Homo-oligomer: A and B are copies of this chain.
Amino acid sequence: MALKCDVQYGKGSSGFKLTKVGVSGVRKPVLIKRPELTNPLNSVVNCTIDIFVDLPASQRGSHLSRNVEVLREVAEESTSEPVTGLENMAVDMIRKLLVKHEYAQNAYVNIRADYYKANKTPSGRDTLELYTIHAGAHGVRDGEIRKTIGVEAIGMTACPCAQETVGEMLNVENPGFPMMSHNQRNVVTIEVTTGVDENIIVDELIELAEKSVSTPTFELLKREDEGRVVINAHTNTRFVEDVVRNGLTLVVHHYKDLPDDAEILVVSDSQESIHKHNAYAERTATMGELREELAQNIPAL
């Protein structure tokens, strides 16, 4: 049956342009290329995806099903040719979206995905830890596509100020001794936005994020490992501000070849054990701005 309903092509109830129209919260498993891992457990990532394009004033509706078609294509293709990174999959989707939505000037893809990465506890035991990948891309017709890759890692911070206060209150003579403090889950996010040709390895981003906190955390800790994690946290106390600045320093030093227009986001969100609310710090900047600030300050890292 040839259904001729084409109300989407009609003129809208007013002539306003729309910034973003599309679908949100679409779920899809994707196969990614991880040469170092041979079992599928770590190669399938379950994605939650938002896909938008803009809409001119002259058209009433966007063709939302095309967004899902594009997603299905790239997910299907991943089964024969695993994607090299979710941000690259997002770029691929942007290109297809701008073809399918001939009226759109902008296309946007945002992806969140659970991600498992092998790690080692302080005493060297193998562990598999959970992270969240943030990926996405934004493309302008006849213009540039920018892509974002980022990670969210749950670590631990111990507070330097409470540690010093407690030492003072208990009249401790040896200030070098790691005094107790409050400590808690700290969610660190690092995102990097660049042109399509840059190549950021998500496993390296996770390592930078975990070096930013007082200590990474682990799903399984036998006694000595547990003690070591606690000691590491308290000999390495950090405010949320420290976490973000450490993350920025690590990013600037690690990505020496990234262009100055790369955009960096670092966030530290601390689920304070002494409060019912969170402590939070954030920096957004271009790589160029960070390099300039760094040149003016010899970091103490």
| Residues of chain A whose beta carbon lies under 8 Å from any beta carbon of chain B | 1, 3-5, 7-8, 11-31, 39-44, 46, 50, 52, 55, 57, 60-62, 64-65, 68-69, 72, 75, 78-79, 114, 116, 128-130, 154, 156, 158, 160-162, 164-166, 168-170, 178-185, 217-224, 226-231, 233-234, 239-242, 244-246, 248-249, 269, 271-285, 290, 293-294, 296-301
- Contact call A273/B226, Cβ cutoff below 8 A: no
Copies per complex? 4
- Are B164 and A23 in contact (CB-based, < 8 A)? no
Known: A242-B13, A246-B13. A4 touches B46 (CB 8 A): no
A91 to B201 alpha-carbon distance, docked (Å): 39
- Bound together, the chains give a CA A48 to CA B154 distance in angstroms of 16
Give the residue of B44, B182, B230, B271 whose beta carbon is less than 8 angstroms from that of A44: B44
A236 CB to closest chain B CB (Å) equals: 11
Residues from chain B with a CB closer than 8 A to the CB of A46 are 46, 114
* Interface SS majority for chain A: mixed
Known: A15-B293, A65-B221. A162 touches B27 (CB 8 A): no
A233 to chain B, nearest CB (A): 7
Q: Is the CB of A15 within 8 A of B273?
A: no
When C-beta atoms are compared, the residue in chain B nearest to A78 turns out to be: B41
- The 8 sampled A-B contact pairs (Cβ below 8 Å) are A8-B239, A13-B242, A13-B299, A23-B279, A24-B269, A41-B79, A161-B226, A165-B224
Complexed CA–CA distance, A218 and B275 (Å): 5
Could you tell me the distance between the alpha carbons of A283 and B15 in the complex, rounded to whole angstroms? Answer: 12
* CB contact between A281 and one of B21, B28, B161, B223 (< 8 Å): that residue: B21
Option from B24, B43, B130, B249 in Cβ contact (under 8 Å) with A278: B24
Which residues of the other chain, B, contact A166 by a CB distance below 8 angstroms?
227, 230-231
Residues of B within 8 A of A72 (CB): 128, 219-220
Is A50 a contact partner of B183 (Cβ separation < 8 A)? no
Q: Are B19 and A248 in contact (CB under 8 A)?
A: no
